[in-house]
Structure 1
């Protein structure tokens, strides 16, 4: 927690200096770049289970992850009074995993036991309030020991004439490089080799959405996506055991087409209650279909304190290529024992508490909000996890 408060002190210094800029008394919008808000999100995730894909669908899935995301949003107005927003985000995850440590079955503890992932991103948007249009573009990257990803996106949104509706379209791509790290017994010569071969993975996604204010209490959004993946889509260190006892690397098709569609509705029940609902249907050409239903009900305890209980139910079918430990045979063209691709259902339940006092958290004017959330996740295939997160906002 010391790191969080040291960072908070630095943020407050920046915001105090930013607030001391002299404003033009004529109401002219300054074209200098200013800080709009800063967010710091930290979370701790812990998981247990007995269906590790690294060991062929059996074995410990114990995992812990500590994640930190630092987000700074800057803005300025240009000569045409268009608002330009620059969102700079840097994420850093550090995890330890009992299952990935078993890439080498003979090692008590190997280099794969833990890893650190770094994922920066930059997004630029320009909003023309007069025309009701918003254009955006962004780039991102993610790096860990066996994985390197580069992403890019462009987006456009147009409000309706009465400003009660908005249509949005977004295109994204991710170009990934995967180190093909095989289980140790399947490597050439059966020994460690740091000079791993690599393979490419490509993702292209298009998203459409339409949001509409129905009345003062109800807002709805329709969502649709089309995602195409190609290249090396298997996980190279996931084992698959055949009926004859032999061990193999996971093998999946080199293309996948995903189609999710969703619906979101927010209903404002008086001044103290909001009912937020979400449903998504998903299908792909690997044979997986799923349904997600989510509800969250923020409740204002006071004008500055609210709690948000939430619940999510999820269910999916198995892909055509899944079978448990020692259930695949040599006649199978593709095979996996990864239980994330099996048939299961899950429940995720928890709550958050949010404090946003008008004079700032702890009386610090620019410390705008603090939110603490906890969730417990349960699968019906002997897997569970817990996550706790804290979000600090400065404005």
Structure 2
């Protein structure tokens, strides 16, 4: 995988040299700018979910969670050819599930089906990305590079990458290659009962509580490397198709340290109604993923469009999945568009998954995280878009170019349900 990354970066650097050194400006005194003026996007999403298979409590318990994510994206044209983009946001969540990393810090009896009041009940993720893109004079070659940073209470991540895009055949054909590297460091938050010095006189069970398989992880890093290749083609004036393939290699701590596992061949111990962990989730330290997908967009007429998407996914943990979606934008007027959305997803279980108390202590790898189980899901939604390229509406010096609103309802076969609301406002700076 490292060789793939090196090869990809070689092509990126080569493409950059080609774009900058071999092309000349054949225009006269005027060249259309890639981005005419500063653009500012304000994005906001609200997500809520509930279910009964929390991974923190070994595949049982509440999965109730809410998350609010405000984000701002600023695109700045540096000159006719170059654009600098800054993307910064936060994600503030409240989770009944993660609060049960320590379920015994509440005045209420501990239970996997109720939340605790501890520090892990809520947190804020912060992240930002800065990117730089250069377009050749012909606009047939685009080189982009970016750097990102993200932080949460239990991990820190830094990422970098780049892409090269080549358009030809009168811009009817596009080929793109992207490469990314993410270097993450965990600050593991183990279940409270597995931490050194834990004692509690209210433990109930046969014998003495002794999680003999548990030991802290030695490697607290997780590195991800990816290469993506995509091809897009305008087939007719009404039909456009694109295909892509990704190669993703992950190495390091791929287990989630605060997710409990219970063995069927070990005695059970409780404090109140909460079962003490036999161990934490343990998964291999490498994972290779290959998603392959395609998009097909058909413009029926000036008012109605069909956008379809399909993806097949495979990894070496035994997960295979299929994703299919359709979106049908209908243009009500020159400025207003509505679009219904439907998405279907199905996957096989990972080799290392088993439900609550179905693992054996003799196994090397195990998880009861239902994200790695066999399931299928449906997502239904709709969207609304307002676009005014002339930015007639202004807020101070910002002209409103577009408003986009979406709602989706998610229903998974294991009982997890979710609602997501998202909105975006694009402004041009006068």
TM-score interval, smaller chain: 0.7 to 0.9
CA separation in 1, counterparts of 2:410 and 2:153?
28
Q: Please say if residues 272 and 301 of structure 1, whose CA atoms lie closer than 8 Å, have aligned partners that are also in contact.
A: yes
1:66-121 Cα shifts (integer Å, max 9, x gaps): 001100001133xxx6x111110101110000000000121221000000011110
> 1:328 and 1:140, CA in 2 relative to 1: closer, same or farther beyond 3 A?
same
> 1:360 and 1:163, CA in 2 relative to 1: closer, same or farther beyond 3 A?
closer
Unaligned runs of 5+ in 2: 1-27, 107-116, 201-216, 269-277
1:250-308 Cα shifts (integer Å, max 9, x gaps): 10000000010000111111000111110000000000000000100110011111101
Task: Report the 3-state secondary structure (helix = DSSP H, G, I; strand = E; otherwise coil) of the residue aligned with 1:235.
Answer: coil
Unaligned runs of 5+ in 1: 1-25
Task: Report the 3-state secondary structure (helix = DSSP H, G, I; strand = E; otherwise coil) of the residue aligned with 1:60.
Answer: coil
Task: Report the 3-state secondary structure (helix = DSSP H, G, I; strand = E; otherwise coil) of the residue aligned with 1:99.
Answer: helix
The equivalent of 2:19 in structure 1 is none
The equivalent of 1:380 in structure 2 is 413
TM-score normalized by structure 2? 0.81
1:340 aligns with 2:371: yes
1:182 aligns with 2:215: no
Structure 1 residue 359 displacement after superposition = 5.2
Structure 1 residue 360 displacement after superposition = 3.5
1:184-226 Cα shifts (integer Å, max 9, x gaps): 111112279xxx9871000000000000010111111110000
- 283, 286, 289: which one pairs with 2:314? 283
> 1:296 and 1:131, CA in 2 relative to 1: closer, same or farther beyond 3 A?
closer
The equivalent of 1:100 in structure 2 is 98
1:212-249 Cα shifts (integer Å, max 9, x gaps): 01011111111000000000000000000000245111
Runs of 4+ that moved beyond 4 A: 26-31, 361-365
Q: Please say if residues 219 and 252 of structure 2, whose CA atoms lie closer than 8 Å, have aligned partners that are also in contact.
A: no
Write the mapping of 1:192-207 to structure 2, written as runs, cut at 5 A: 199-207=220-228
CA separation in 2, counterparts of 1:363 and 1:121?
28
Write the mapping of 1:157-172 to structure 2, written as runs, cut at 5 A: 157-172=165-180
The equivalent of 1:368 in structure 2 is 401
1:145-180 Cα shifts (integer Å, max 9, x gaps): 101000001111111243210110011000000112
Structure 1 residue 28 displacement after superposition = 4.6
CA separation in 2, counterparts of 1:224 and 1:147?
29
1:239 aligns with 2:272: no
Structure 1 residue 27 displacement after superposition = 6.0
1:54 aligns with 2:56: yes
> 1:245 and 1:226, CA in 2 relative to 1: closer, same or farther beyond 3 A?
farther
Relative to its length, the structure with more strand (as a share) is 1
CA separation in 2, counterparts of 1:323 and 1:223?
32
